[in-house]
Structure 1
Amino acid sequence: MKSEKEKRRAGELYDPLDPQLCRERDRCRDLCLLLNATREDQKQERQHRLAELFGKEADAWVQPPFFCGFGTNIVLGTKVFFNFNCVVLDVAAVTIGSNVLFGPSVQIWSSH
């Protein structure tokens, strides 16, 4: 039997209140809070938080505040820039190519 996460990834109906999915969203929110609390002189700390959030090293600059739903469903190319107050709701996979610059308050919503 498929897990709710597997169902979600397959585009099937799933229970968004599944405990595993709730834990993953909570983890993401906590990491976003930590990222958003960094100061401008904490560039390495920001990169560390982004790697935790996206599940791998990212060649990206994110100007806090930044918000996302899971983080691990976001795939970034190289040299990606998110300006202030961007939101990526990554219920489904979100792939962003290289050399992409997002202006302030850009919102990307994906769902099944």
Structure 2
Amino acid sequence: MEALQKIVPGELYDANYDPQILEIRRQAKIKIHEINHLSPAEGEKRESMIRELFGSVGKNLVIESPFYCDYGPNIHIGDDVAINHNLVILDGAEVRIGNSVFIAPNVGLYTAGHPIDVERRSKGLEFASPIIIEDYVWIGGGVSIVPGVTIKKGSVIAAGSVVIRDIPEGVVAGGNPCKVIRKITDEDKKTTNFIKRQ
């Protein structure tokens, strides 16, 4: 969409007063409202509407209602992704979710942020930076991910974490701010205590 090209990653743009951007958001909210109020029996219609809303969607997507986003076209989801209730995506910039990703309930992916100074913030200005979630990541319930973060392949983010920086491949990370707790090892294949509290 042409108006979304006004949103350049890392640069300020008018999110609250630009009529074209506001209209794209309004149209997205109308579609999302309809999707979230479909009966579970209307699975094919729901999937079709999600595919029309998002930039790209792979095979075997499970996304439970309700979910919310700002625009839709900036969202790209791979194959075999399972997303539980109450996902919120502020997709001023691209959000890329890889293959075989699990996202628990009440997760927020926030590409958008605001200037810290009152003068610019009060004018409705904000910025957006992409979020990338690579293949085989598991994001626990209630996690918040801020602009510009990449979570590398195979990592696990513990419930309630606030992810403010990149997370490396193959680790368990958690906390506020989210930090690496340990590497995932072969020993993890032998236990049912998936995330040991530290």
Question: Deviation of residue 82 (structure 1)?
Answer: 1.2
1:109 aligns with: 110
1:9 aligns with: 8
Higher relative contact order (CA 8 A, sep 6+): 1
2:31 aligns with: 31
Pair 65,102 (structure 1): closer, same or farther in 2 beyond 3 Å: same
Pair 56,4 (structure 1): closer, same or farther in 2 beyond 3 Å: closer
Pair 94,52 (structure 1): closer, same or farther in 2 beyond 3 Å: same
Question: What residue ranges of structure 1 are gaps of 5+ in the alignment?
Answer: none
Which is richer in helix? 1
- Give the alignment of 1:1-112 within 5 angstroms: 5-16=4-15, 17-59=17-59, 60-111=61-112, 112=128
Q: Secondary structure at the match of 1:64?
A: coil
CA distance in 1, matches of 2:36, 2:56: 18
- Note the aligned Cα RMSD (angstroms): 1.7
Q: Normalising by structure 1, what TM-score? A: 0.87
Residue type at the aligned position of 1:32 = I
**Structure of larger gyration radius:** 2
Residue type at the aligned position of 1:100 = V
Q: Normalising by structure 2, what TM-score? A: 0.51
Q: Deviations 1:32-84 (Å, cap 9, x if unpaired)?
A: 10110111111101111101210445431111001011111101111111111
CA distance in 2, matches of 1:33, 1:67: 9
Which is richer in strand? 2
**Percent identity over paired residues:** 33
C-alpha contact 1:4 1:15 (8 A) present in aligned 2: no
Pair 49,20 (structure 1): closer, same or farther in 2 beyond 3 Å: same
